[in-house]
Structure 1
Amino acid sequence: MAGRSHRRRNRAAALVAGVVVLVTSAPSVVAATGSGAVVGDRGIADWVVDVDATRLGELLAGGRVTSVGLVKAFKARIDAYEQAYADQPGVNAVIREDPDAIAVAARLDAERRRGHVRGPLHGIPILIKDNYDTADLPTSNGSLALRRWRTADDAEQVARLRGAGAIVVAKTNLHEFASGIETISSLGGQTRNPYDQARYPGGSSGGTGAGIAAAFGAFGLGSDTCGSIRNPAAHNSLVGLRPTLGLSSRDGIAPLSDTQDVGGPMAKSVRDIALVLDATAGYDPDDPSTKASIGRIPHTYTAALGDTALVDARIGVLTDYLGTSAPEQVTTALVREAAADMAAQGATVIDLPAQPALMAAVDASWVINDEHERDLNRYLAAPGSKFPRSLARLEPPTDLVTLADIVTSGDVTPTVLERLKPRLGRSTGPQDDYHQRLARRAEAQQLLRTLMDDNDLDALVYPTVPQQAPVIGQPQPGGRSCALAANTGFPALTVPAGFTPDGLPVGVELLGAPFSEPTLLGLGFDYEQATHHRRPPTSTPPLN
């Protein structure tokens, strides 16, 4: 997204810096648990394990906890569980913590005391995937090659969240350059699933997913080119939204594929997702795709949340994605149970017959290899970016960093490096095959619309990921289902659907028509409230 503006970043920075206070020996912070019991400052980290941002906002509003206390609590959990402890190897979800988080929290607490509250996210600590630009911290994309990469300003969604009062506690690990789903990078290493630290957390936004599950932050941002929000959300018993392409700005998110990339939230509850959308969705002139959102953003996404949303809804089970192999049967059974639960809430649920034409069109419309070099080079050329000149000089042009420089540096996880090499020259080579793939995408979009219209469907349902998270070192099947939303631009919401006999989370995905996020959030909320499947991981328990 070329031609990036700096004005909105300056506005957001001014909002945060508008009140300056000295942090002295403040009185002990107190917090209320869900039962109303009061605990001291050191006890906050005991109960943030399973408290969502919505509840934290209520506690902040009631004066029972401060933002400084919350930041300290989340940081204490990072200190306790990020690296090896007891018999666990550690979650390893964090690339770097923000050293200014406590100071920012103190300023936001001062604002609140003066009666200025920016909204429900005021003072809420969050996590940011390290492919989102942050002016005050490096943005590495998980790569040693970019460990000193600095951008001139924040990504648009980060700026909007900061303007709404959210506090960045840390930037999280990702599968390097978002090019995989195991969440391993040359800079951050291997992130682990807090539900079983011998297993993958999903990816590519696995650091954000594992970090939220382990209570390193209240919610977080990920990016999704094909499942990179939804996959780790499912593997970490979280709610994750891949929004409609054009709903929220991608400006300042290091791209993998401009026509497939979106950025979106991961959280412990559907309501939290709605709150994040309220703060981040909408038009941004630096991302032309968001022009499509004009006039299609509700006053608040929380208005769609209710326990009757499934009544009279029509849900189609996409049987093409119901796996039958032995590792997939458990997930398929849980998704079947989820569909039955939706029916019990009043929905009409129908099994859809196989859709071979749709599946073929979706599978034929992959363009990541065609677009990555073009889009990443455009991002790396953004005005004001700072980087080692020695990196830029590896390949021409010698005054800018390009994908070719990164590949030549060799400072990339070997498996990712092998994925990057074939992408060199694709964007400048013959484009006939690329345009054919885009044509198949348009075909897939039309077939999907027709399927939903002909059956009068509010949403499709299928497994987010076909099987539970595998042991690290074993193959990590992503499944075909990630591509349905990614290759068409339709929105998809994943919600916890329960646990396998191994105690590993499974997600059920709801896909809707473009800009149907209110409908999806309503359906997901009704299902979530009827089932309450989410529970925190046992490997990162409350601190004693």
Structure 2
Amino acid sequence: MIKTKVFCLLVVLTLGFYSCKEQKTAQTDNKAIELSELTVSDIHKAYEEGSFNSEQLVQAYVERIKDFDGTINAITTLNPKALEIAKALDKEYKETGILRPLHGIPIIVKDNINTAGLPTTAGSLALKDFIPEEDAFIIKKLVEAGAIVIAKSNMAEWAFSPMHTESSTAGTTRNPYDTDYVPAGSSGGTGASIASNFGTIGLGTDTGNSIRGPSSHNALVGFRTTLGLVSRSAIVPLYLRNDVVGPMGRTVEDATKVLEIIAGYDSDDPLTKNSEGKIPTSYTQFLKKDALVGARIGILRELSDNDPDPEIKTLFEQSLSELDSLGATVVDSVVVPGFASLKENQWCAPFREDVEGFLANYVKNDSIKTIEDIIKAGSTSEFAKERLLRNAEHTGRWEDSEIPCLDAYTDTRRIAFREAIENVMDSLELDAIVYPSWNNPPARIDHFQEEYLGDNNQVISPHTGQPAFTVPMGFTAKNLPAGLQFLGRMYDEPILIGLAYSYEQGTKHRKTPNLQKAPTNGKLD
């Protein structure tokens, strides 16, 4: 006991810790674990009380995936070492009495993030045999914090589609709230799996939509953080100038705990140099239920009133009333001078440069070095084939290739757009701007292109670099989720965390999908 206390003190002084106390022995293996809506705090409390251990939790999640993933097709690969890792973490806890910040927390990782020993395919046939030898920087940090990569999740091939999640390696992912509908793209596998309680929390990537869209469509919290806050190294890029990686979870608190681990400088991602001096000692300190009290929230009607679906319009207006009732001053509405022109001609297409750089740095396969090699490898997705050809032929700004494509800190068009928004926020003393993440509900899978409407995620933050968080704001009559988005100034994650948490806790809009068990197909056995 004395040795344990001394060890705990050393950990406090050097590494920091989640908890340091004697733990009870986990109860019988036969006791069923209620996985529905489990949070990091719930799990760590159970570990401390001995209700279950990490090995038992991983086994329970794996069994749930095998029982239900055939219905939604969200998981591409189970980690065969997950139970072994869990056992080691249980042994460590038994010996030290210490829970690391994410000790024994099963996470699901999008299939474009390098994970050692597991395929990282980006949904493509070209990478179907690529198994990285090392974890991406953010995965290393999560593993050091005690997280367990339990599985990889399906994605839109090469992250091309915000509309739906279809890949050549795993097929099409369905929305767990209604399997006739899309989970959005491209992180739809992460969104559908976390909504279905296949893991505690997930990772997605967002070039224009792909964290916030699937989070909105699956009643999740999704953090697109400030460009430069979180490393993108060893992640298959779409357009690196826009790409962000971040948490997708069932609660703001869980997403915040992941952000707290992954934020920070990585020498392999020079953009993260901009985050130095801008990261607080703790993000969880901003999880305050009363954060909306006295806050000033602006409404960007130019987005919210852009031909919205009547049900989404009603949910959004209801959310404004909820913000008001929770103590916020709602400023209706916010007008950004020149907004329509500033948002135009922002998209660039450096896919060739970015993906060929990834292939050279990480894949190192002489037969897969260029876009042409990728095209030659083939695809089962007509949508992905068209996008590959399009990106092979075009590498600059979509509307005017003479204007250079630069990062959010040096591109004058991006800076002007951001300054216009932040100047208005400053003049009105706003803490955030809100709008629906989508003005329309999810599309039907069989009609995903014609029903792709109302995607507000693409308009601002991917170009300005500003953080934007989505939180559940309710459901349509068909039980399809919708999300409310909070947009903040650069590096205003502390403010957005407080506002999103306060709204979430004050409304409790999230509910679990009524997922039906699938017939056994042996896919993940």
Query: Above 0.5 in TM-score?
Result: yes
Q: Secondary structure at the match of 2:92?
A: helix
CA drift at 1:352: 2.1
Residue by residue over 1:278-321, the C-alpha shift from the partner in whole angstroms, topping out at 9 and shown as x without a partner, is: 11111111111111111111111110011111111110011111
Match of 1:86 in 2: none
CA distance in 1, matches of 2:102, 2:228: 23
One of 429, 444, 453 as aligned partner of 1:456: 429
Q: Structure 1 residues 96-105 or 434-443, which shifts more?
A: 434-443
One of 375, 378, 381 as aligned partner of 2:360: 381
CA distance in 1, matches of 2:357, 2:406: 23
Change (3 A) 1:42 1:478: farther
Residue by residue over 1:89-124, the C-alpha shift from the partner in whole angstroms, topping out at 9 and shown as x without a partner, is: x11001111111011100011111011535231001
Does 2:231 align with 1:261? no
Match of 2:403 in 1: 433
The residue correspondences of 1:331-370 to structure 2 (distance < 5 A) are 331-355=312-336, 357-367=338-348, 369=349
Quick one: which amino acid aligns to residue 52 of structure 1? T
The residue correspondences of 1:499-538 to structure 2 (distance < 5 A) are 499-538=475-514
Residue by residue over 1:408-441, the C-alpha shift from the partner in whole angstroms, topping out at 9 and shown as x without a partner, is: 2223522111011122253489951345994422
Does 2:452 align with 1:476? yes
Match of 2:440 in 1: 467
Q: Secondary structure at the match of 2:403?
A: helix
The answer (yes or no) to whether the contact 1:460–1:511 under 8 Å persists in 2 is yes
Does 2:217 align with 1:235? yes
Q: Structure 1 residues 222-231 or 340-349, which shifts more?
A: 340-349
Quick one: which amino acid aligns to residue 491 of structure 1? P
CA distance in 2, matches of 1:425, 1:502: 41
Match of 1:300 in 2: 282
Match of 1:68 in 2: 55
Q: Which runs of 5+ in 2 are unaligned?
A: 1-14, 16-23, 519-525
CA drift at 1:151: 2.4
Q: Secondary structure at the match of 1:82?
A: helix
CA distance in 2, matches of 1:273, 1:513: 19
Match of 2:4 in 1: none
Match of 2:130 in 1: 149
CA drift at 1:49: 1.6
Quick one: which amino acid aligns to residue 117 of structure 1? I
One of 452, 470, 476 as aligned partner of 1:494: 470
One of 390, 397, 415 as aligned partner of 1:422: 390
Q: Which runs of 5+ in 1 are unaligned?
A: 1-14, 16-26, 31-38, 84-89, 393-400
The residue correspondences of 1:59-98 to structure 2 (distance < 5 A) are 59-83=46-70, 90-98=71-79
The answer (yes or no) to whether the contact 1:247–1:281 under 8 Å persists in 2 is yes
Match of 1:321 in 2: 303
Match of 1:407 in 2: 375
Residue by residue over 1:40-80, the C-alpha shift from the partner in whole angstroms, topping out at 9 and shown as x without a partner, is: 63511xx2122222311222232221111111111111111
Match of 2:187 in 1: 205
CA distance in 1, matches of 2:340, 2:139: 35
CA distance in 2, matches of 1:362, 1:122: 42
Change (3 A) 1:323 1:41: farther
CA distance in 2, matches of 1:121, 1:476: 37
Q: Secondary structure at the match of 1:171?
A: strand
Residue by residue over 1:456-486, the C-alpha shift from the partner in whole angstroms, topping out at 9 and shown as x without a partner, is: 1100000011111121111333524432111
The answer (yes or no) to whether the contact 2:299–2:434 under 8 Å persists in 1 is yes
CA distance in 2, matches of 1:28, 1:531: 37
CA distance in 1, matches of 2:30, 2:36: 15
CA distance in 2, matches of 1:52, 1:104: 20
CA distance in 2, matches of 1:499, 1:190: 23
Does 2:188 align with 1:220? no
Change (3 A) 1:285 1:436: closer
Match of 1:33 in 2: none
Q: Secondary structure at the match of 2:512?
A: coil
The answer (yes or no) to whether the contact 1:118–1:164 under 8 Å persists in 2 is no
CA distance in 2, matches of 1:126, 1:504: 25
Does 2:1 align with 1:41? no
CA distance in 1, matches of 2:74, 2:341: 36
Q: Secondary structure at the match of 1:170?
A: strand
CA distance in 2, matches of 1:525, 1:535: 16
Match of 1:188 in 2: 170
Quick one: which amino acid aligns to residue 301 of structure 2? T
Identical counterparts, % of pairs = 39
Match of 2:44 in 1: 57
CA drift at 1:222: 0.2
CA distance in 2, matches of 1:480, 1:534: 21
The answer (yes or no) to whether the contact 2:212–2:457 under 8 Å persists in 1 is no
CA drift at 1:227: 1.2
Quick one: which amino acid aligns to residue 66 of structure 2? D
Counting matched residue pairs gives 487
The answer (yes or no) to whether the contact 1:52–1:267 under 8 Å persists in 2 is no
CA distance in 1, matches of 2:150, 2:111: 12
One of 74, 85, 94 as aligned partner of 1:104: 85
CA distance in 1, matches of 2:72, 2:405: 42
CA distance in 2, matches of 1:60, 1:468: 39
Does 2:86 align with 1:113? no
Q: Secondary structure at the match of 1:433?
A: coil
TM-score normalised over the length of structure 1: 0.85
Quick one: which amino acid aligns to residue 69 of structure 1? Q
Q: Secondary structure at the match of 1:487?
A: helix
Change (3 A) 1:356 1:479: farther
Q: Structure 1 residues 260-269 or 435-444, which shifts more?
A: 435-444
The residue correspondences of 1:134-173 to structure 2 (distance < 5 A) are 134-173=115-154
CA distance in 2, matches of 1:66, 1:263: 29
The answer (yes or no) to whether the contact 1:193–1:236 under 8 Å persists in 2 is yes
CA drift at 1:449: 1.4
Quick one: which amino acid aligns to residue 309 of structure 1? A
Q: Secondary structure at the match of 2:445?
A: coil
Match of 1:176 in 2: 157
CA drift at 1:359: 3.2
CA drift at 1:451: 1.7
The answer (yes or no) to whether the contact 1:138–1:147 under 8 Å persists in 2 is yes
Quick one: which amino acid aligns to residue 539 of structure 1? L
CA distance in 1, matches of 2:241, 2:396: 17
The answer (yes or no) to whether the contact 2:298–2:334 under 8 Å persists in 1 is no
CA distance in 1, matches of 2:195, 2:52: 21
CA distance in 1, matches of 2:426, 2:388: 39
